[in-house]
Amino acid sequence: MKALIYKGPWEMTLEEVAEPKPNPGEVLIDVKAIGICGSDVHGYTGSTGRRWPGMIMGHEFAGVVAAVTDGVSNYTVGDEVVVSPMFSISPTPETVPMNWSPNRRLLGVEVNGAYADRVTVKASQLFPKPAGLSWQQASLCEPLAVAMHAVQITPMDIMTDVAIIGSGTIGLLVLLAAKLKGAGRVIVIDKMPRRLEMAKQLGADIVINAGEQNAVDVVRELTSGGVDVTLEAVGYSATAQQAIDITRNGGNVTWIGNSAKMIEIDMQSVVTREITVRGTYAFTDYEFGKSIQAMAGGRIDVQPLIEKVAPLAEGPAYFKQLASGEIDLVKVVLEP
């Protein structure tokens, strides 16, 4: 079968490799659509160190069950499925949500993933794909689940003022999820006019170009003192601080961005203004299932985010262009 092999910083090739064999309890998946994630692009440049040379990346995907093994009872060959990349290596059932578990592993990050014709996964990672959901849309279920989890764990009253910092895939999906949860005015902050334009198209009430305007001043003025809730989807000191500065006293800040390991922020501002800051990571099976349901039922439309669909073989070229900034596309979906 064909697969994209990550060879090292800025190097990826399409190669012929042996088809993986499913172990008991696993299934073989014929990959139909797989999204290029920003974390893969950062891994490709070597900047995060979270990918290893020789591996097959890829964790946002859907496909058809091509083979089942002993111990798999609820799926058969031909079933159309969306796959959660998260699984547990614990020999006993997990006692905590899987995204908290030390036994959690991520397909395409810690083990070979799905930039390939076929991949093996545990049957527990499968969710049935509704017929009305396209393969391309289904491949966005994983990032949507990340956004759904962030919004799910963030206290948010109906019609509350919400700010989102960062309008990459996750920031834009957080916008859709926040509106689904009943947010009032949603303000999106970024520095890229193209992304802000898309945020508007997806329903943002106000967009602020932080490269041109002082976002903190603008938000404070618009909201008389700050928004109730801010979700940060960038992950550096400056934006983490900005999230605190644009939130009202007693408000909630949720950090999704996971870029810098150490940051510097004004702790006194958090303390004296009684801001609650929380982290959010990945998702639970509950939110993964609800993401499928929201897309299939027409409550969330991810189609505008899919700006390019290309064959798997063109993957290396897209990685190079996305990493160098030569092209800016919210979501590129590859079709093996």
Provide the residue type at 174 as one letter: V
Provide the residue type at 258 as one letter: N
Residue nearest to Zn ion (CB): 37
How buried is 252 (Cβ within 10 angstroms: 0-12 exposed, 13-18 middle, 19+ buried)?
buried
Question: For residues 40 and 245, which CB has a smaller minimum distance to Zn ion in the complex?
Answer: 40
- Tokens encoding 294: 């929201």
Q: Which residues contact Zn ion by CB under 5 A?
A: 37
Question: For residues 37 and 138, which CB has a smaller minimum distance to Zn ion in the complex?
Answer: 37
- For the bound state, the minimum distance from the C-beta of residue 288 to Zn ion, rounded and expressed in Å, comes to 13
Q: Please report which helix (H) or strand (E) contains residue 143, including its range.
A: helix 141-152
Q: Return the DSSP state at 278.
A: E
- For the bound state, the minimum distance from the C-beta of residue 299 to Zn ion, rounded and expressed in Å, comes to 21
Question: For residues 68 and 170, which CB has a smaller minimum distance to Zn ion in the complex?
Answer: 170
- For the bound state, the minimum distance from the C-beta of residue 48 to Zn ion, rounded and expressed in Å, comes to 12
- For the bound state, the minimum distance from the C-beta of residue 283 to Zn ion, rounded and expressed in Å, comes to 11
- For the bound state, the minimum distance from the C-beta of residue 234 to Zn ion, rounded and expressed in Å, comes to 15
Note whether 109 and 59 are within 8 A (CB). Answer: yes
Question: For residues 109 and 243, which CB has a smaller minimum distance to Zn ion in the complex?
Answer: 109
Query: First CA to last CA across the chain, in angstroms?
Result: 10
Radius of gyration of the chain (CA): 20
Note whether 179 and 160 are within 8 A (CB). Answer: no
Question: For residues 113 and 316, which CB has a smaller minimum distance to Zn ion in the complex?
Answer: 113
Cβ neighbours around 224 below 10 Å, total: 8
Question: For residues 37 and 188, which CB has a smaller minimum distance to Zn ion in the complex?
Answer: 37
- For the bound state, the minimum distance from the C-beta of residue 209 to Zn ion, rounded and expressed in Å, comes to 26
